[in-house]
Amino acid sequence: MPDVTVINDLSEDIHVAFFIGVPTSWKNHLKPGERWTTHLASLPLHFEARSVTGSREFSHDESMEMFATIGGACAAGTASVVSAGAMFASDMLAGIPMVSVPLMAAASAGGTKYGEWGAGGRKCTARVWVPLWHQPQYSVRMVDGRCVLWDVDANRVV
């Protein structure tokens, strides 16, 4: 499990996190010029940087709430498909909308809520792969007027 370093090359404090579905490793109030190193699994991860002024901090409670929301949405979506399939198989076609539609609506609402988490203060996001044999360094910086995650070793935008 490699160490990953994030450098704040912006002129403001930011909140940063790595996600495996939900935030699993984060640093709130990363100051300009400050480095944060964390130990991560060698997996495809999602990275997010948030503005300190426009969003809330990352937290264990937020991660658990996100996990419950997306877990409930997945369960509702699965239940809607299974119930529709069971009713279709038993020729109870009239019951499919009564059971499946509310479940799918709940799944959709959960997915929407999950996608909007932190959106108001989100500065930049990126997908990263943390290889087992490498200790990557990333920089949050402005490039062409937009916030990006920069791979320091490869000298390019992630």
> Which CATH number characterizes residue 19's domain?
2.60.40
Number of folded domains that form the chain: 2
Q: Measure Cα distances from 48 to 72, 94, 100 in Å.
A: 23, 45, 34
Three-class secondary structure assignment of 61-120: HHHHHHHHHHHHHHHHHHHHHHHHHHHHHCCCHHHHHHHHHHHHHHHHHHHHHHHHCCHH
What residues are paired with 5 via a beta bridge? 37, 137
**pLDDT number for residue 102:** 63
Question: Are 46 and 89 in a shared domain?
Answer: no
| This prediction's pTM | 0.68
Question: Are 128 and 93 in a shared domain?
Answer: no
- Site of tokens 């499919």: 96
* Domain of 44, in residue numbers: 3-56+119-157
Q: Consecutive 10-residue runs of the chain (158 residues): their mean pLDDT?
A: 94 93 90 96 91 79 63 61 55 51 60 58 88 89 96 95
Question: Are 108 and 126 in a shared domain?
Answer: no
**pLDDT number for residue 95:** 47
**pLDDT number for residue 140:** 98
